Amino acid sequence: MEKASHLSVIVDLSPTQWHLSAQADNQYPLSIQTFLSQLLAFLNTHIASQHENTLAVFGALPGKSVMLYSSTDVVADDAIAPDANSYPPFKAVDSTVVQNMMYEFDAFQKSDHEPPCDLVGALTKALCYINRITHPSTTANSAAEDPSILPDPRILILSVSPDLSPSYIPIMNSIFSAQKLKVTIDICKIYGPDTVFLQQAAHLTNGSYIYLERRDALLQYLIMSFLSPPAIRKVLAVPKQDKVDFRAACFCHKNIVDIGFVCSVCLSIFCQPVPVCSTCRTKFPIKTLQRLNASRPSLNPVNSRNSLPLANLNNASPRPTPTRNLNGVS
């Protein structure tokens, strides 16, 4: 039989986005309740696949991130009443995830200004957790871990929020650590516009980025694309994203830019020519500034994603763009 696999699921729990997603004017409205039941079925499927499979669930909430469940930190035995009709581990996952999620939702204060979801926190926590289980340290008494059967780690991000440009650098740093840990990051974009950073994350870690077109078929999407460990993906193909947007966020205004101005000393990106690098305080020659200001593409407003020409003018036949609305439904 084969190696066990570890799956860390990061759930984006932005109340605003889920509220928008459940609106009836969407083509396929998806409420958080339906989502949750399908997610739990998916989690159970992962555990069902192999006795040794491990699972961790992280929630990205507005302004904070929490671990909702992990299979290595078992909850107290009596918390879950045994039941003849369900497999005990499934029951443990379901009840723990729901319980913790409800607790977090209750603790969440309603305010006019909702801070953005802490996806970075959840992602880094997932990486720390994976680091912990794949490199069991000698100091901690990690008895459950068996050094000879290290699980194959993966991260699945279920995202509903749009890109958060201030988190560009932390997200990129997380991606590189994932590469080093040989973690595959899969992205399922459930709601909202495509996110540039997560596309890059999937591309760089050899995962797949899937934009959910039929949101009523979430579970089928999850199972067909994200359940299989990398070994199986070599036999049963998994859809990859069709194109990757390599844009970056500038350091000065946190805009997402496709043409930027880069400091040659520290490689900081700026959306407009600046006289002094804000990161390393290098002064740039006046001549360069003048030259760049002159050649600066005026017709390309730097901060608008929407006006980016997507058609490949050089291609004789334009790429068939999928029917979905790239700008999202919001």
Partner 1 sequence: MPSVQSLQPGDISTSQNSPHVLLPFLQSQPQNTLTRLYQRPSSCLSIFRLLGPLERQLIMNLLWLESAIPTNTMAAWVVPEGKKLYNDALTVMTGLHIIQNPTVKLALNSTFRSSLRQAITGGGNTGSFGVPADKDDKRQPNAIELLDAYALERWETILHYMVSSGQGQLPTKPSSGVLYLLQRSELMKANHGATLQITSSGFQFLLHSPHDQLWDLLLQYLHMAEERQMDLVEVLSFLFMLSTMELGREYSTDSLSQTQKVLLEDLRDYGLIWQKKSSSKRFSPTRLATTLTSLSPSLPTSNSRTGSGTNAVGVAASSAQQGFIVLETNYRVYAYTDNPLQTAVLNLFITMKYRFPNLVVGMLTRESVRKALANGISAEQIISYLSTHAHPQMRKNNPLLPVTVQDQIRLWELERNRLKSAEGYLYKDFASQADYMYVLEYAKQLDVVLWENGAKRCFFGSLEGHANVRGFIERRTGGG
Partner 2 sequence: MPPRQRDSIFIEVDSDSDVSILGDGDDDYTRSKGKGKGKATDKRKKDKGKAKAKEQAYTWEASYTRSWDTVQEDEAGSLQGAVEDWMARGRRRRLLAPAAAIRRTIIRHLILLLDLSASMMDRDMRPTRFDLSLQYAREFITEWFDQNPLGQIGVVGMRAGIGERIGEMSGNPQDVLKAIADRHRLEPVGEPSLQNAIEMARSSMSHLPTHSSREILVIFGSLTTCDPGNIHDTLDICVKNKIRISVVALAAEMKICRELCDKTGGQFGVAMNEGHFKDILFESVPPPAQRAVARTTGAGTANPAADLMMMGFPTRLPDTSPPSLCVCHSEMKSEGFLCPRCMAKVCDVPTDCDICGLMIVSSPHLARSYHHLFPVKPYQAVISLEDTPDPETSCHACARIFPTTATTTATTEGMSPLGRYQCVDCHHDFCTDCDVFVHDVIHCCPGCGK
50 binds partner 1 (CB under 8 A): yes
Query: Which helix (H) or strand (E) element contains residue 22?
Result: helix 15-22
Asked if residue 255 lies in contact with residue 271, where contact means CB atoms within 8 angstroms, the answer is yes
Asked if residue 215 lies in contact with residue 190, where contact means CB atoms within 8 angstroms, the answer is yes
The residue within the footprint of partner 2, chosen from 4, 41, 227, 289 (CB under 8 A), is: 289
- Where in 128-157 is the site for partner 1 (CB under 8 A)? 143-149
Q: Which residues contact 180 (CB under 8 A, 6 or more apart)?
A: none
Which one, 81 or 299, has the nearer CB to partner 1?
81
The residue within the footprint of partner 2, chosen from 51, 81, 283, 323 (CB under 8 A), is: 283
172 binds partner 2 (CB under 8 A): yes
Q: What angle do CA 118, 123, 129 make, to 5 degrees?
A: 130
Q: Which residues contact 237 (CB under 8 A, 6 or more apart)?
A: none
Which one, 20 or 305, has the nearer CB to partner 2?
305
324 binds partner 1 (CB under 8 A): no
**Quick check: helix, strand or coil at residue 105?**
helix
Q: Among all chains, which residue has been given the structure tokens 């995202």?
A: 159
255 binds partner 2 (CB under 8 A): no
Q: Phi-psi bin for 63: left (phi > 0), alpha (psi -120 to 50), beta?
A: left
User: Among partner 2, partner 1, none, what does residue 85 contact (CB within 5–8 Å per kind)?
Assistant: partner 1
User: Among partner 1, partner 2, none, what does residue 129 contact (CB within 5–8 Å per kind)?
Assistant: partner 2
Q: How far apart are CA 198 and CA 209, in angstroms?
A: 8
Site string for partner 1, 209-228 (x = CB under 8 A): ----------xx--xx--xx
Q: Which residues contact 87 (CB under 8 A, 6 or more apart)?
A: 48
Per CB under 8 A, which region of 18-26, 82-90, 220-228, 259-267 contacts partner 2? Answer: 259-267
Which one, 90 or 108, has the nearer CB to partner 1?
90
Report the interface residues with partner 1, using CB under 8 A: 1-4, 41, 44-45, 48-52, 82-88, 90-91, 94, 143-149, 219-220, 223-224, 227-229, 231-232, 234-237
